[in-house]
Every structure is written in C-alpha cells, then in structure tokens.
Amino acid sequence: MTLLEVENLHTYFETREGTVKAVDDVSLKMERGDSLGLAGESGCGKTTTMLSIMRLLPSNGKIISGKINFDGIDMVSLDEDELRRKIRWKRMSMVFQGAMNALNPVFRVGDQIVQAIVSHENIEKEKAWARVEELFQLVGIDPNRAKDYPHEFSGGMKQRAVIALSLALNPDLVIADEPVTALDVIVQAQILELVRELINKLNISMILITHDLSVIADTCNKAAIMYAGKIVEQGDIMTIFKSPEHPYSQGLLTNYPSIKSERMRFTPISGRPPNLINPPSGCRFHPRCPFAMEVCSKKVPETIELERGHYIACHLKTN
C-alpha cells in the first residue's frame, strides 16, 4: 500500500542572489513499511525535499508546484492549523540533523517528551509519563533516567532520546536527517541496530537522509540518489548498490571506501556540484559526466522505469 507519493515537486528559495531551484521536479514513492534512503552530496536538495514533505520550509522557501500525497491526504494544500493538529508528529515525525543539540538543555528529557505528547493528545500527564517510560525501554535507555537533564546523557543516549521523541505519538512515517553523522562508530552501530529493530518491530516507515551510502546500505530497503535538485536514480537497495545504472550513482559507489574491499586508489568524480541558481542546461550532471553526449547538454532526461521499481533519468538509457 502506498504511504507517500511525491509527484513533480518543485521547491524554490528566494535569495538575494536569485532563485535557488533546490528541488526541481522530484518524484518519489514509498510503500508502507519501506525504509527509503535518500543520498546525495551536501546541497543537492535532500533536506529541502523532506522539509517540503513535512511543510517545514523556512519563510523564503516555497513549494512552487507538484503533489505530495501522504496516505490519501494532499499535503500541499493542507492548511497550517490542520497540519499541526493532525499530521505533524502524530502521523509524520522527524529526527533532525545534529540531534545531539535538539534537546532543550534546561528541561528534563522526559518532560520534553511529555510536552510533545500532551500538546498533541488529550491525555493526563501521568499517562504521558508512563508512555515516556515505555518509549525509553523501547529505545534502550533505563526508564529511571527520564528525569535527567540532557547534559547527564551521553551522545548515544541523547540520540536514543531524540528517536524516542520522534516515536512518541506512534507516527506512520519517521524522517531522519543524518541521524548518525556526529556519532562515534560503535555508538553509530548501536543506533543503526536500534533503527533496524524499530522498523521491524513497530512496522513504521522511514526516510533516512544521509550522504553516507554505507548507512543506507546498512538500514534501508530502497534508495534514491539525488543530484543538484533532482533524483537521478531510485530503486530497491540491491539494484541501486549492486548494479547502479546512472553514471553519478556509479561514480559515488565505486569510490566509496569499504573496509571489506581490497586496498585501492580512488577515482573521484571530477568537478563540483553546480550552483542551483543557474544549474547547467539539459542533464544537470553532464559537465561532470564521463559519458556525456551532445543531447545531454540540450535536453533534460526523462525519468523512465528501467525494470519494475527501478527508475532512472539518463539519456544513455532513453536513447
């Protein structure tokens, strides 16, 4: 069953330098129970895509066109009040980047979660506290620590608490933006284990945004690769990671250092991602693409379905 469908989303930012086309014609689809990894370099529009879905764009950002259908609800036209009462946190929640700093230092951790619960649901404080204790158990923190302040928590515990906060109202979809980037490797492995376990146990769906491809390979069942405001390839995890077809995905993956592979010299993709005020014509990747043809600088490649569920936007495949 489809949980989230994004069609031809365009989100632009107005800046002094001009209009930044941060998300330009993005389409995504995920089923209930999917965990989708959204990968790409900084500034490719992955966070903006998610902020558009949550309708949390800063004031200079705007959804210009496109559809976001979340479980039958049209998210683009939903008014702010209804969004706040019915959708945000209750149906769809977010684990923000730098979760280490997402907790308010002057309130007890448990109180912050209680606050989130009682402001969305009409329940008594005691019941909300009981829920906090359950949540702590679920994410692997001793429930007695709920009365601690954030500074009494270690980095890994803060991350667990932020995950508990995102699950406080049993959402259908959790969006996690770089959830493990700031953590040490062993703590990262602990959190990734927890995330995999929660996906299985609670049957939630998740979108995981990261530039770290190995984190996606480790936790997700689907992946989408984003470049300069567009999704260039998406499909199930095995297809994307084992036989990527887009030259950009291939470039990212063959260069990805793995602890299991033989020692090698890397061959990075040359050049840098473009400025999104004046993106390159045609395919946005063509200035960096080793296989660029004449058509690539002239025509924007259409997204086609190569095999079932495997989408790609590249002239090499359409011609």
Partner 1 sequence: MSSKDKLVVIENLKKYYPVRMGLLQSLRSKERLFVKAVDEVSFHIKNGEIYGLAGESGCGKTTTGKLILNLITSTSGKVMFKGEDILSLKKGGIKEFRKRAQIIYQDPYESLDPRMTIFDFVSEPLIVHNIGDIEKRVEEALETAELTPPREFFYRFPHELSGGQRQRVAIARAMILNPEFIVADEPVSMLDVSIRTSILNLMMRLRDEFDISYLYITHDLATAKHICDRIGIMYLGKIVEEAEVEELIDNALHPYTQALIAAVPDPDPSVEKSKAIIKGEIPDPIHLPTGCRFHTRCHYMKDICMKVEPEIKEVSEGHRIACHLY
Contact 4, 30 (CB under 8 A): yes
Toward partner 1, which CB reaches closer, 217 or 276? 217
255 binds partner 1 (CB under 8 A): yes
Smallest gap, in angstroms, from Cβ of residue 311 to partner 1?
Answer: 18
106 binds partner 1 (CB under 8 A): no
142 binds partner 1 (CB under 8 A): no
41 binds partner 1 (CB under 8 A): yes
Please tell me the distance from the alpha carbon of residue 251 to that of residue 311, in angstroms, as a whole number.
17
Site track for partner 1 across 263-292, x = CB under 8 A? xxxx-xx--x--------------------
Q: Which of 220, 123, 218 is nearest to 174 (CA)?
A: 220
Contact 298, 281 (CB under 8 A): yes
| Other CB atoms within 10 Å distance of the CB of residue 152 | 12
Smallest gap, in angstroms, from Cβ of residue 124 to partner 1?
Answer: 35
Residue choice 56, 187, 293, 300 for contact with partner 1 (CB under 8 A): 187
DSSP string of 275-298? PSSSPPSSSTTGGG-TT--GGGGT
Which DSSP letter does residue 60 get?
T
Residue choice 177, 218, 233, 245 for contact with partner 1 (CB under 8 A): 218
Contact 219, 196 (CB under 8 A): yes
Number of residues that bind partner 1 (CB under 8 A): 42
Residue choice 54, 165, 252, 283 for contact with partner 1 (CB under 8 A): 252
Assign 139 to helix, strand or coil: helix
Toward partner 1, which CB reaches closer, 116 or 253? 253
- Residue spans of beta strands (DSSP E) within 17-72: 18-31, 35-39, 61-70
Please tell me the distance from the alpha carbon of residue 38 to that of residue 29, in angstroms, as a whole number.
12
Smallest gap, in angstroms, from Cβ of residue 240 to partner 1?
Answer: 9
135 binds partner 1 (CB under 8 A): no
Residue choice 215, 231, 289, 312 for contact with partner 1 (CB under 8 A): 215
310 binds partner 1 (CB under 8 A): no
Opening angle at CA 121, ends 116 and 123, nearest 5: 105
Please tell me the distance from the alpha carbon of residue 12 to that of residue 24, in angstroms, as a whole number.
8
Query: In this chain, which stretch among 54-62, 122-130, 148-156, 303-311 interacts with partner 1, using CB under 8 A?
Result: 148-156
Give me the residues that bind partner 1 (CB under 8 A), please: 41-42, 154-156, 184-190, 192-193, 196, 211-215, 217-218, 237-238, 241-242, 251-253, 255-260, 263-266, 268-269, 272
